[in-house]
Amino acid sequence: MSWDNTDTAGAKASEWDTNNYDAGGYEAKENTNADYDGDNWNQEKNSGDNAAGGGAECYACGEIGHRKADCPNPAVPREFTGTCRICEKEGHRAAECPDKPVSVCRNCQEEGHEAFGCENPRKINRDHVKDMTGEEAWGLMKTAIEERDLDDLKEAVEIYIKSNPEITYQMLEKKLRDESMGVYIIALEKELAASYTNMDIQGNLDKTYTVTWRWSPKPLRPKERQFWPSSPQENFDRLNDAGEPIDRGVPKCNNCNELGHTRKKCPEEIVENVERATVLCFNCNQTGHRVRDCPEPRTDRFACKNCNQSGHTARECPEPRSLEGVECNKCHENGHYSRDCPLQGAGGGGTCHNCGQEGHRKSDCPNETALICRNCDAIGHISRECPLPRDYSRVKCQNCQQMGHTKVRCTEPLKENEDAGYGDAGYGGDNNYEADKGADTTHENNAEGDGWGWNDNTAGTTTNQDWEGEVKVSTSGADW
């Protein structure tokens, strides 16, 4: 619920300082993009010295060679040739307009001062709230409480406050307790941002506690206990100095973190924010400018990674593979890969496991693949073509994992295939039917509910499962 004088809740600080010319409000900026020649899609015109400020004129000091954002010199007043947005006359800015109306405080709507430092109550505009009597508004509150609709409740409270503008949070809480209404106004000790404050119903600012509407007098979360009042009497006393959080309506400086002015008009020395995101150019990988302002020539991101030429990829490159920047994983020298390393045993100078020659690996061997028999270690045939009897000393049993025989000739009892090759999926293992049959229970015996909707009556509902595909819900009143 918002007591702001705007129709929308949660107004921003900028809405309070839009025309505040004297206290750091909005001020028109010069067109910093005026130094661009041609449209924004012409890369040739946006690149080079002009785009980076090399040949452009600075709009702050008038010198050539840099942009206004990078100007090291103090600003030089320039002749204004535009139109004032207040009187629509030429020759002066809005800040210097002689017909500028008297500034009005954004907080109390009075003339002669600004919102920063104003100690008057805020003037609240409730023209957007419906006009009803107090009894009608109280009836709407009862209906919203019965339906437990917090949004409708806050809207009804606004209508009730408009019909009773002198009511306070203490009076409202006492009336709710006297009629045993199922809603509570809790005053929490909550820390707010510097640009926010607590405001009561009458518009008084800088209240200590924050008002919240709850369906229970107990904290909803454990972390709220430290901010929660310890007793109803303490909560009632807090409501005398409580309000809802609202925007102060004054700007906050990002340089000194003080209220009343912006960073542009800060009297303190401008401090560079080290945590501020830096601009990275994706053309030269340097910080401080964008691609459109990069003085370096454009690079083709889709060029060949081998020869850096456009028109083809590295796979289609006719040039030999470039070794620029390649580091060997064996000797950590540049100029060759580890498989071509000249060190002995590093790959390049080792022995081929196929032909036995030195200078290349088995994967790069130009000779015919040598067949080695796993039965007799002879060269020229494989084990299934071996003319010698099978050497069972090299055979490992898949049942007992012992050497010397196969699974067919194993004397050990066969292992049960627990998962039948499907892991824990349960689609083909040894299903112990007798063990599972005893553990089967009917759904009627699960009196406390099994969490799957069979007989779960813990929530006050009775669910009848229809195996034809229809679920009927009765006695709960819930609208599914």
Query: Which pLDDT belongs to residue 30?
Result: 41
| Structural domain spans, the chain | 134-247
Residue linked to tokens 């809005």: 94
List the beta bridge partners of residue 234. none
Query: Which pLDDT belongs to residue 368?
Result: 80
pLDDT tens, per residue, the chain with 480 residues = 444 444 443 333 333 443 444 444 444 444 444 343 434 444 434 444 444 444 678 888 888 888 777 788 887 877 788 889 888 888 888 888 888 888 888 888 888 788 888 888 888 888 898 999 989 999 999 999 999 999 999 999 999 999 998 999 999 999 999 988 889 999 998 888 888 999 999 889 889 999 999 999 999 888 888 899 989 999 999 999 999 999 888 888 888 888 888 888 888 887 777 677 788 898 888 888 888 889 888 888 888 988 888 889 888 999 888 888 788 888 888 888 777 777 755 445 567 777 777 767 777 788 888 788 888 888 888 888 899 998 888 889 999 999 989 988 899 988 876 554 444 444 444 444 444 444 444 333 433 444 333 344 433 333 343 433 333 333 334 343
Query: What residues have CB less than 8 Å from 226, skipping those under 6 apart?
Result: none
Give the residue from 140, 185, 142, 177 showing the smallest Cα distance to 162.
140
Query: Which pLDDT belongs to residue 39?
Result: 42
SS3 percent helix, strand, coil of the chain, rounded to 5, is 20, 10, 70
Q: Which amino acid is at 132?
A: M
Contact in structure between 253 and 262 (CB atoms under 8 Å): yes
Query: Which pLDDT belongs to residue 106?
Result: 84
Q: Tokens for 269?
A: 């020395």
Query: What residues have CB less than 8 Å from 284, skipping those under 6 apart?
Result: 294, 296
Give the residue from 240, 203, 273 showing the smallest Cα distance to 4.
203
Cα 207 from Cα 209, distance rounded (Å): 6
Query: Which pLDDT belongs to residue 465?
Result: 39
Cα 84 from Cα 92, distance rounded (Å): 6
Query: Which pLDDT belongs to residue 345?
Result: 53
